[in-house]
Amino acid sequence: MKLNSIALILGGVICALGGSAASGQNTSLPPGHAASHGIIHDAGMIRVLILDGQSGGAYHNWRLTTPVLKKELEETGLFSVTVVTAPSSDQDFSGFEPNLDHYQAIVMNYDAPDWPADLRARFEKYVSNGGGLIIVHAANNAFPNWPAYNEMIGIGGWRNRTQDAGPYWHVKDGKLVSDPSPGPAGQHGARLPFQVKTQQPEHPIMKGLPPVWMHYPDELYGMLRGPGKNMTVLATAYSDPKNKGTGYDEPMLMVLHYGKGRVFHTVMGHDASALSCVGFMTTFQRGTEWAATGRVTQKIPATFPTAKTVSYRVDIQELDPDLLKGASDPVRLEAEPAAASKAGVPQH
């Protein structure tokens, strides 16, 4: 029996060990991925750039989560992934000139307050000309004062966003509604498991997923605000007041259009432990393919979580050395304030 193809069901938790076989992917070389003389060529693969280099605090450890995101994309066999690390916003950007147009999609694992104007303009041109964009978790905290970026992400939080950023958005009775009430943007409770509910079952990213699935413990973002233009909410989660929540079905997965560009936005994925959820992984892999190409060819893995059972990858969690020390207990890791306005150093 091969270890990497075993899915253990332990106490209501599907615990998938190992690599691509566990997620239902073909382990042989993908089409267009020909090996010769020991060199693997990536002709025909989807070229993806993961951008990192800054976060709002040490709690978003991009040095650790970027390799996780890279691994998750690469093991589909569909993507050729390049990581580009940007200077932090107080550093010199004069030598930072990534060739954005080389890539079919950019994954933002990046949260900076601002960028130089010429870099902003290049990024806007890339997306409006048809480049794909994937926003992961706190990348929706970035750039509060850059209108085009906020249009691309639809909604964002923290970094002193207020009603000037746009209304709050949530889903009520299957319809996306906005709320212009004044106030801060961004909040979440303790990291607990929560159900993700599909709102658009026919969208290529969602097609074949269960209507409801249990996400591994993560921050359930609520009270995000923004222009919400050209935005379709694919999935929501109920933000339970019992866990400092808003009482609303909050957007978890979204797609947007900016010019000719497609944007996939997942608010999930605080750390390696949340990223190890097979539900996160599957939607991230499918969302990236959709943003890059407009279609989704991937199968849903057999280990996908069910409505009451989380499913996560131990080998992904093990990429965070702290989790190996037992610091992954989601309840003990609580410590975030309920609202963005609360004093202290909030984690996002």
Q: What are phi and psi of 82, to 5 degrees?
A: -120, 135
Name the segment binding Zn ion (CB under 5 A); options: 63-71, 204-212, 267-275, 298-306: 267-275
Please, which residues have CB within 8 angstroms of residue 259's CB and are 6 or more apart in sequence? Answer: 127, 128, 129, 130
Q: Does 270 bind Zn ion (CB under 5 A)?
A: yes
Contact (CB, 8 A) for 216 and 280: yes
Contact (CB, 8 A) for 253 and 72: no
Q: Within positions 196 to 215, which residues make up the interface with Zn ion, using CB under 5 A? A: none
Q: Does 348 bind Zn ion (CB under 5 A)?
A: yes
What's the min distance (Å) between Cβ of 18 and Zn ion?
A: 27
Of the candidates 268, 248, 270, 254, the residue with the CA atom closest to the CA atom of residue 348: 270
In this complex, which beta carbon is closest to Zn ion, that of residue 151 or of residue 219?
Answer: 219
In this complex, which beta carbon is closest to Zn ion, that of residue 219 or of residue 320?
Answer: 219
Structure tokens at 244: 């400092």
In this complex, which beta carbon is closest to Zn ion, that of residue 54 or of residue 303?
Answer: 54
Whose structure tokens read 């042989």? 28
Q: Does 188 bind Zn ion (CB under 5 A)?
A: no
Whose structure tokens read 């605080």? 270
- DSSP letter at 124? H
Q: Does 170 bind Zn ion (CB under 5 A)?
A: no
What's the min distance (Å) between Cβ of 295 and Zn ion?
A: 30
What residues form DSSP beta bridges with 250? 237
In this complex, which beta carbon is closest to Zn ion, that of residue 124 or of residue 219?
Answer: 219
What's the min distance (Å) between Cβ of 319 and Zn ion?
A: 17
What's the min distance (Å) between Cβ of 141 and Zn ion?
A: 8
DSSP SS3 for 94: coil
Helices and strands (H and E) in the chain: how many? 7, 16
Name the segment binding Zn ion (CB under 5 A); options: 147-155, 195-203, 253-261, 263-271: 263-271
In this complex, which beta carbon is closest to Zn ion, that of residue 159 or of residue 270?
Answer: 270
Q: Does 265 bind Zn ion (CB under 5 A)?
A: no
Contact (CB, 8 A) for 179 and 165: no
In this complex, which beta carbon is closest to Zn ion, that of residue 244 or of residue 348?
Answer: 348
What's the min distance (Å) between Cβ of 271 and Zn ion?
A: 7
Q: In one letter, which amino acid is 274?
A: A
Q: Where do contacts with Zn ion occur on this chain (CB under 5 A)?
A: 219, 270, 348
